[in-house]
Chains A and B, each alone.
Chain A
């Protein structure tokens, strides 16, 4: 059921009930007032007849039984019966020819049935006379009905008019919602451009804004994922191309050329192997796999292991602060070694000639701080934020662009921190990792 029908039904039902109650109340009061007025008319007519009789010559009674006064003489309104009788019950005058007398000997109002018709009578004693005025209930009801009809017709029209206006008004009020619905319906399911519905009320505007922000975020995420897959495809296809090309060359050639092609193919395979390993490592670090091997490593051991892993330990100048042989890192040793080794590899790659790379290990505010410093050209300010992006590499560094992304992932996993400080005399990388807590 549409919101419009629903709202109209709920509000319309409430309208009808309230109007019906109000009308019933009003009509009941109206009927009461009218009956009271009609009674008052009987009273007034009786008094008036009494007044008339007072002015007439008194031996009215002596004229004999059945003497009649015309309705004109009694001057009571049409439709009202009037009867003047003596205290003994003789009818002196009446304005109707009914055989049955208005039979009443008590003063005041009474309801009685005469000839099958119900009458409302009023009896009034004045001197020797008894004056009774009466009108028919049937006439009273007819009058009542016509007044009810006259009063209820406008109520009914007003009610129907209100319902119509309600339908139109709700439709108008819900128009922005309908515009939004139509705009959403027109979109293709994978559309990501922002929703542009003009003139939205203040309740709906935040909805559209939030929706558009969501679209934007989704678009950014999709774009990032697409680029990442694209980059990964590029990184894997490039060495694969080298392998395939050189294998084909090997098939086409002979002798030394063939040997060289095979050697090149092997180099390509090595490169592909490295990239795959790095990608897998990154996936594992970012996933929830455990690296805990139960081996406790001190900061010094981690540093020495990382230096050994680079394979060119003689180019690295290790500076150990006192006490670093006794502190243990609050992270799996393999991850610490990998992170440090990647930083060292990076530094070695950007250091010209035989200049050393410096690795300093010290304690800093309850954490272990590893500082790796190279003597390369440093890196441009605007490139600093790209350093830890996957597959980002500066110029022709020859790396696969994943080393620092892995360090960043390790740091995030192990609550460490990674900072870069680039100066003209080289890049300094500060890696801080937490200590192992005493309870463990």
Chain B
């Protein structure tokens, strides 16, 4: 999951970024509303964590403007202000969820997963795909009931494909899901991850669409895959 974190307090931002990364997410940090908007135009994100007290602009104004521009990205608002009017204002401005500081990192992660799940139109958290099941919050991948060990990048890649079932994703979009904006990416890194994923979950799991990109294919049972 690729998260855009918009938080001006350096200490908090570094903590959230480290915590979410440790829970398997890819996090990009910005400290101002202007940077957030530039970032949204430059890359694809799954969810945004927005602090309301930004130095250059009120977070709610940014959110309102984004919604007016048709941005449908799920947004979780963080704030240290607990007045009811603040919360109502936040939700009315287009926030999808609301978390009061101080919060628990696991709760933040769980809420982000829920937001993503809702955005994908699913009612349960675990994503089922044939014999494959993937739980985004516990990051457990099972194939025919047997747990499969995936690296963090492989999980991010699988999640991106599962969230976009039936759609073709360009390699740029996949890279956005797997890597942060500042990460140094080797030119063939994505291919390496796709290769590993195919090895663990069956050759058909990632279909190559020539000239366009990649698509989620059918998962195969391990008995078939591993003789």
Contact = CB atoms under 8 A, between A and B. Distances in A.
B23 interface: yes
Interface stretch (A77-85, A144-152, A264-272, A340-348): A264-272
Given A230-B83, A237-B80, A249-B22, A244 B102 contact: yes
Given A238-B80, A248-B19, A264 B14 contact: yes
Given A238-B12, A257-B22, 19 more contacts: A230-B83, A233-B82, A237-B101, A237-B102, A241-B80, A241-B102, A243-B102, A244-B103, A244-B104, A245-B15, A245-B16, A248-B15, A248-B105, A248-B106, A252-B19, A252-B105, A260-B18, A261-B18, A271-B11
Interface of B: 8-9, 11-12, 14-16, 18-19, 22-23, 53, 55, 80-83, 100-106
Contact of A252 (B23, B83, B100): B23
Interface residues of A, number: 27
Interface string A232-266: 01100111111111101100110001001100100
Contact of B18 (A233, A234, A249, A395): A249
Q: Which of B15, B53, B83, B102 has the most CB of A within 10 A?
A: B15
A226 interface: yes
Contact of A242 (B11, B53, B83, B100): B11
B101 to A, nearest CB: 4
Given A226-B83, A233-B80, A245-B102, A253 B18 contact: yes
A248 B106 CA distance: 9
Nearest to B14: A264
A257 B18 contact: yes
Q: Which of B11, B83, B105 has the most CB of A within 10 A?
A: B11
A249 B101 contact: no
Contacts of A233: 80-82
A261 B15 CA distance: 7
A71 B105 CA distance: 131
A406 B165 CA distance: 59
A439 interface: no
Contacts of B83: 226, 230
Q: Give the 10 A-B CB pairs with smallest separation, nearest first.
A: A245-B15, A237-B80, A242-B11, A241-B102, A241-B101, A252-B22, A234-B80, A249-B18, A248-B105, A244-B102
A396 interface: yes
Nearest to A393: B55
Contacts of B80: 233-234, 237-238, 241
B22 A253 contact: yes
Contacts of A248: 15, 19, 104-106
5 contacts: A241-B15, A241-B103, A244-B104, A245-B12, A267-B11
Contacts of B11: 239, 242, 246, 264, 267-268, 271
Contacts of B82: 230, 233
Contacts of A237: 80, 100-102
Contacts of B12: 238, 241-242, 245
Contact of B55 (A226, A244, A396): A396
B55 A395 contact: yes
A367 to B, nearest CB: 38
Nearest to B52: A234
B105 to A, nearest CB: 4
B227 to A, nearest CB: 37
Given A240-B102, A395-B55, A230 B81 contact: yes
Contacts of B53: 234
B105 A249 contact: yes
